[in-house]
Amino acid sequence: MAHEYIRVQNAGPLSGELTLEGAKNAVLVTMASLVLTRGKSRLTRVPASHDVYQMKTLLEELGAEVLFDEQKHELIVDTTFLNGWSVSPDLMKRMRASILVMGPLLARFGKAKIALPGGCLIGTRPVDLHLKAFARMGATITTSGDFLQADVEKIRPCRFVMDYPSVGATENILMAAAGISGVTEIVNAALEPEVLDLITVLRNMGAHIDFAFPATIVVQGSLDLKPVEHEIMCDRLEAGTLLIAVAATGGTLSLPDAPVDSLELVLEKLSEMGLSIEVGPQGRGVKLTSHRPMNPVSFKTMPYPGFPTDLQAPMTALLSLASGKGVIHETVFENRLLHVPELQKMGAQISLSGDRATITGVERLYGASVIATDIRAAAALVIAGLAAEGETRITGIHHLLRGYEGLDQKLRTLGACIEIVRD
Ligand code: UD1
């Protein structure tokens, strides 16, 4: 197999303007939700990331016809003849988000067979909340070998109180509830912007969805959900990654379509670091201008609107260059600090204690050979490489390609020296 890695060198401060892709975490679940419909749907602003191709294959294996025009970022999905209800271990291993078809399959066929999830190396990542809710809706859950199976004679709505506001579980239950008759309540639900984007899609299909206090989503489903046309929301996590990358190099970046309201706390932390943040008219678009020295900041990752766990690794790289000590507490996922030993190889001064990282900024990072273990760890290493002296080589780049469309190319348009090498 070809040896693949990213080579990054410091090319000084990056500057320019970029447009954002559609959100990976919104597009995958929107694609899964189409299983609930019969007919042709059209999604726009679809990123050409590897996970989107995996979800396309999954829908095709279930019997959908899928056309992806990468140039137009348009995806046409015809689910008229969808007749499959099983997801192979191979697909599940490559894309954990495959679990998101379970709810729609249960609503449509009363059964779903899904291989046990694989994916990023961040903790054990159980799916117990998804399964508990399906059991509450009347499904019998069995496991055999590598497979999870759910069967239900007549699926029924329920009230489900979640132990934790899991994004995937909220989405899975929402989709199952949207495709059946009756009222389902999801209490202690995740209300991430991507969940709200899914709610817009399900409402356009014909489901009635409301919110109640506290953090409750109330779904009045329908047995006749219609195909939809939907523009995927801009990727707030790509926006955050790019802002942090440019800040690490001391440059300037404009993102005219950045969804500022969903990045509020991230922008707040960047301002606290002394970077200047200008928000565009009507709260859309942002311009970052770097200043030195950068103040250290501390934060805890939390469900939305708390600090997003997906931007924790990129911020760790940035804090490595601040002047002083910051503490990051990762509370969402266990084992999501695997980028730390790699950043240490580049000269970062970070001490770990359980799920906390204390980062003491250094004058300079140094290029090294490092390994990416998940999407956001890969992004963090790219960011460190852009600011480091010498050359950085990052392996495990399939993680980066899973989640970002053309990140290397975008950074090059800002002046970065970065390339994907295959030898
Ligand atoms: C989604 C996002 C991911 C993001 C995460 C948190 C997608 C494709 N991925 O992942 O990028 O980092 O939200 O914002 O949208 N948990 C359980 N039992 C369950 C489900 C989850 O204990 O049944 C735990 C997980 O182990 C984790 C926490 O809940 O500790 C949060 O996970 P969850 O919100 O479900 O994340 P994902 O939906 O997997």
Q: 323: CA distance to ligand 1 center in Å?
A: 33
d(CA 360, CA 321): 8
pLDDT value of residue 123:
62
Residue 120 falls in the annotated catalytic set:
yes
CA 209 to ligand 1 centroid distance, Å: 22
Q: What is the best residue among 55, 121, 167 to mutate for testing ligand 1's pocket, by most ligand atoms within 8 Å of CB?
A: 167
Note the pLDDT tens digit of each residue in 384-413.
Answer: 999 999 999 999 998 898 889 999 999 999
How close is the Cα of 203 to the center of ligand 1, in Å?
Answer: 23
CA distance 333 to 310: 10
At residue 235, the 3 state secondary structure works out as coil
Contact, 113 vs 147, CB < 8 A? yes
Which residue matches tokens 């399906």?
A: 134
Tokens of 225: 């959900």
Distance of alpha carbon 301 from its chain centroid, rounded?
14
Contacts of 402 (CB under 8 A, 6+ apart): 49, 50, 51, 95, 375
How do residues 109-134 score in pLDDT, each as one tens digit? 999 999 877 545 556 678 999 999 99
The span from the CA of 417 to the CA of 423, in Å, is: 19
User: Band of the pLDDT at 282, cuts 50, 70, 90?
Assistant: confident
CA–CA distance, 355 with 345 (Å, rounded to integer) = 20
User: Closest by alpha carbon to 59, among 97, 25, 26?
Assistant: 97
Catalytic residue selected from 120, 158, 234, 417: 120
Nearest protein Cα to ligand 1, atom 35: 166
Q: Which CATH architecture has domain 4-20+234-422?
A: Alpha-beta prism (3.65)
CA pair distance 233, 46, nearest whole angstrom: 9
- The helices-and-strands tally (H runs, E runs) of the chain is 14, 24
Q: Residues spanned by CATH 3.65.10.10 within the chain?
A: 4-20+234-422, 24-231
Q: Reduce the DSSP state of residue 85 to 3 states and report it.
A: coil
CATH number listed for the domain at residues 24-231:
3.65.10.10
**Reported pTM:** 0.96
